[in-house]
């Protein structure tokens, strides 16, 4: 069973946490099942960037990024080469390490 390690985030998970995940499950669904409240304003429809994350380890183990996800990520704040949307990235066989950025673009709140 793959593990997801979330690096510390001052509001969501101040000490960081490692959780178990199911292969084929999205990072967001695994997080929510473990009471990690990652923002997801579009309700997992790949229409916003509030669930943007950066994969620090295990990027190649995730599902392939779709063209729609890539287009949506273009609108995210401080996108990096290994950025993904947690609502779209499905877990593979290997463990991953995830960083949740401190800021996101949430046009609903702004």
pLDDT tens digit string along 31-54? Answer: 999 999 999 999 999 999 999 999
Cα 39 to Cα 20: distance, rounded to the nearest angstrom = 20
Nearest residue to 3 via CA among 25, 21, 26, 23: 21
Q: If you average pLDDT over residues 12-26, what whole number do you get?
A: 97
**Cβ–Cβ < 8 Å for 51, 40:** yes
Q: Say if strands 52-57 and 96-99 run parallel, antiparallel, or are unpaired.
A: antiparallel
Q: If you average pLDDT over residues 57-74, what whole number do you get?
A: 97
**Cβ–Cβ < 8 Å for 17, 110:** no
Provide the whole-model pTM: 0.92
Percent of the chain with pLDDT over 70: 94
Q: If you average pLDDT over residues 62-76, what whole number do you get?
A: 96
């Amino acid at each position: 069973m793959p593990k997801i390690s979330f690096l510390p985030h001052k509001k969501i998970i101040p000490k960081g946490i490692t959780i178990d995940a199911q292969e084929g499950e999205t990072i967001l669904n695994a997080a929510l099942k473990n009471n990690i409240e990652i923002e997801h304003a579009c309700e997992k429809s790949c229409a916003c960037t509030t669930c943007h994350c950066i994969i620090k380890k295990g990027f190649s183990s995730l599902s392939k990024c779709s063209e729609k996800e890539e287009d949506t990520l273009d609108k995210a704040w401080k996108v990096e080469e290994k950025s993904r949307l947690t609502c779209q990235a499905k877990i593979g066989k290997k463990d991953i390490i995830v960083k949740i950025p401190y800021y996101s673009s949430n046009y609903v709140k702004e």
